[in-house]
């Protein structure tokens, strides 16, 4: 067994996870800003692997802005899609 190859793969996986998580945080932040500004009445983000944990991070921010975050879970807890909408919509 090639230990250095396993360590390299683990480092690559960790870097990819970190990059994807940062990207999803930025996507949710941007969608919240877009809807809060009134430029859109709702935004649906799809393909979020970390959608529910990221959503939990922004629940208070969204509520203060008068927004609702609605997850649409995928089967087998593999991620979710996320709807960001005005509370009155």
Greater model confidence, 51 or 11: 51
Greater model confidence, 5 or 61: 61
In whole angstroms, give the CA distance from residue 27 to residue 23.
6
In whole angstroms, give the CA distance from residue 74 to residue 65.
27
In whole angstroms, give the CA distance from residue 79 to residue 22.
15
Query: Is the pLDDT at 2 greater than 90, yes or no?
Result: no
What pLDDT sits at residue 6? 61
What pLDDT sits at residue 8? 64
What pLDDT sits at residue 73? 93
Cα 26 to chain centroid, rounded: 8
Q: What is the pLDDT of residues 13-70, one digit of tens each?
A: 899 999 999 999 999 999 999 999 999 999 999 999 999 999 999 999 999 999 999 9
Q: What is the dihedral of CA 10, 15, 20, 22, to 10 degrees?
A: 140
């Amino acid at each position: 067994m090639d230990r250095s190859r396993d360590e390299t793969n683990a480092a690559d996986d960790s870097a990819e996870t970190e990059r994807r998580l940062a990207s999803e945080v930025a996507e949710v932040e941007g969608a919240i800003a877009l809807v809060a500004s009134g430029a859109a009445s709702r935004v649906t983000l799809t393909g979020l692997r970390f959608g529910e944990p990221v959503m939990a991070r922004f629940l208070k921010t969204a509520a203060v802005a008068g927004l609702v975050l609605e997850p649409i879970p995928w089967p087998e807890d593999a991620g979710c899609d996320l709807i960001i909408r005005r509370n009155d919509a």
